[in-house]
Amino acid sequence: MLELLKKRRTVRKFKKEQAEADTINKIVKAGLLAPSSKDKKPVELVVINDRAVMDKLKTCKAKGAVGLETSAFAIAVIADSEKSDVWIEDASIAAILMQLEAESLGIGSVWIQMRKRQGTFGDSETEVREVLNIPDNYGVVCVIAFGFKDEEKHPYDEGSLNMSKVHMEKF
């Protein structure tokens, strides 16, 4: 697991190669297998393959959505805020598990934050809800862009870990 964590880096530039349905399905399963508070499972996923829809999603965030320009597919990570008071945490766990599964399959990814961000026409979450027809009671944590990496990044090095951030027994 540590090797996978060191290897997973944010990728914003992808090759023009489409992902197979089986690959997408494995990534989706990783999100659905994510633990949730009290096992309420408030998280739902919207898989996007349509280039026109990804282009619309890109405008939902003023900056930082460049990964959608070349991604093979994207997944909006949403959760029912009426089902769980910790839907943000639950959705975040599902999102990172999908990113780790993608990395294990040789697929790059970038988390594009939508919650508490602004888009071209206003609140990013509201804009994503409109583009993807998501009900108002669902929060939108992020859209993750996925694809075959077209940029190389070096893995993290354990030697650069700041162990002073670890406290034993008390702060």
Question: Which structural domains are found in the chain, ordered by start?
Answer: 2-165 (3.40.109.10)
For the segment 56-105, what is each residue's pLDDT rounded down to a tens digit? 999 999 999 999 999 999 999 999 999 999 999 999 999 999 999 999 99
pLDDT in the model for residue 120: 84
Rounded to two decimals, the pTM is 0.97
DSSP 66-134: GGGGT-SEEEEEEEETTT-TTHHHHHHHHHHHHHHHHHHTT-EEEEEE-TT-B-SSSBHHHHHHHHHT-
For the segment 106-147, what is each residue's pLDDT rounded down to a tens digit? 999 999 999 999 998 899 999 999 999 999 999 999 999 999
